[in-house]
């Protein structure tokens, strides 16, 4: 394969944040998963499992995530008393298997702040417009309108390498989808509440929800023309001690 064509293909994959309702045929989903399984894995253990949510299952999960986001968002924006009530009632509190809402380490936090700023500027959401930001955030829980959400679970008995293997699997999956004209968005947001997903699938207890990936055909919405900045390799390359 021509290496420059391969580089261009890799560079052309971008997160999709608005999807058409057009269904994705089951044989296409199967082909993407088969491609994903060609990823390398620690001792070929493949310590991950996936749950493919479509149709009513996808809709029930999304409805419940949106309900919890509405409750949590209102409490977190509200008075201290509303916050206390939220913690006492517990409805809407995160039930994630991993700490999804952990603050970013100081050295990488500016990158995260930049991507948020750049994305919202691109779609015309003003900095102080909290209502519009909330609305955009809520779209995560509707899988940005995608007809398919694939939830990735990792084996808790192999903590670090299960997550690394799942990451390789996910990248293969997203590139395979991209090669078929589909868009994807990996979403930590889809793991904030794990029990609505576990209510729909038989998840063995040693498997933890890592994240979700929304999949579908991209719409022509402006959000899909957003191009996240690519850091130069010098920013992640260690120099030898002199
Ligand atoms: C593990 C993981 C979790 C992510 N979570 C979210 C998310 O919850 N919501 C979202 O809109 N994008 C999410 N993203 C997408 C990243 O923001 C995106 O990959 C990054 O900004 C680079 O942009 P690109 O994918 O368009 O190249 C996530 C990506 C990864 C790999």
Residue 140's alpha-carbon distances to 16, 83, 131, in angstroms, are: 11, 23, 15
pLDDT recorded at residue 240: 96
Does residue 1 or residue 226 have the better pLDDT? 226
Q: Return d(Cα 52, Cα 23) in angstroms, integer.
A: 13
Pick the CATH number of 14-228 from 3.10.129.10, 3.40.109.10, 3.30.70.1710, 2.40.128.260: 3.40.109.10
145-176 pLDDT, tens digit per residue, is 999 999 999 999 998 999 999 999 999 999 99
Measured from the Cα of 227, ligand 1's closest atom is 26
Give the residue extent of every domain in the chain: 14-228
Strand partners, 168: none
Q: Is 152's C-beta closer than 6 angstroms to any atom of ligand 1?
A: no
Model confidence band, residue 127 (pLDDT cutoffs 50, 70, 90)? confident
Strand ranges in 140-204 using DSSP code E only, listed in sequence order: 148-155, 183-187
- Edge to edge, the sheet with strand 148-155 lists 48-54, 148-155, 207-216, 183-187
Sole residue written with tokens 């309900």: 67
Q: Is 188's C-beta closer than 6 angstroms to any atom of ligand 1?
A: yes
Report CA(67)–ligand 1 centroid distance (Å).
22
Report CA(186)–ligand 1 centroid distance (Å).
5
135-147 pLDDT, tens digit per residue, is 999 999 999 999 9
For ligand 1, atom 27, the nearest C-alpha belongs to 14
Tell me which of 13, 48, 111, 187 to substitute to probe ligand 1's pocket, judged by most ligand atoms within 8 Å of the beta carbon. 187
Portion of the chain with pLDDT greater than 90, in percent: 89
pLDDT recorded at residue 1: 85
Q: What is the pTM assigned to this prediction?
A: 0.96
Taking residues 7-21, report their average pLDDT: 98
How confident is the prediction for the chain on average, in pLDDT? Answer: 96
Strand partners, 208: 154
pLDDT recorded at residue 46: 98
For ligand 1, atom 29, the nearest C-alpha belongs to 186
Report CA(241)–ligand 1 centroid distance (Å).
33
How much is the CA Rg of the chain, to the nearest whole Å?
19
Q: Return d(Cα 161, Cα 237) in angstroms, integer.
A: 22
Report CA(240)–ligand 1 centroid distance (Å).
31
């Amino acid at each position: 394969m021509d290496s420059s064509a391969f580089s261009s293909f890799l560079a052309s994959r971008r997160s999709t944040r608005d999807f058409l309702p057009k269904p994705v045929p089951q044989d296409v989903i199967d082909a993407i998963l088969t491609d994903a399984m060609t990823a390398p894995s620690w001792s070929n253990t493949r310590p991950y499992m996936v749950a493919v949510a479509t149709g009513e299952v996808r809709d029930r999960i999304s409805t419940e995530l949106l309900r919890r986001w509405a409750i949590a968002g209102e409490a977190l924006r509200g008075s201290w008393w509303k916050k206390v009530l939220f913690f006492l009632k517990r409805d809407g509190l995160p039930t994630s298997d991993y700490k999804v809402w952990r603050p970013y380490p100081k050295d990488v936090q500016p990158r995260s702040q930049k991507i948020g700023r750049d994305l919202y500027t691109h779609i015309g959401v003003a900095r102080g417009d909290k209502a519009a930001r909330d609305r955009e955030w809520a779209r995560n829980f509707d899988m940005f309108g995608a007809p398919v959400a694939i939830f990735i679970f990792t084996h808790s008995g192999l903590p670090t390498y299960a997550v690394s293997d799942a990451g390789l699997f996910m990248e293969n999956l997203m590139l395979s989808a991209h090669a078929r004209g589909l868009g994807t968005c990996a979403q930590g947001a889809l793991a904030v509440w794990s029990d609505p997903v576990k209510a729909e699938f038989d998840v063995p207890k040693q498997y933890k929800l890592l994240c979700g990936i929304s999949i579908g055909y991209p719409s022509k919405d402006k959000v899909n023309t957003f191009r996240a900045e690519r850091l130069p390799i010098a920013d992640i390359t260690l120099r030898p001690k002199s």
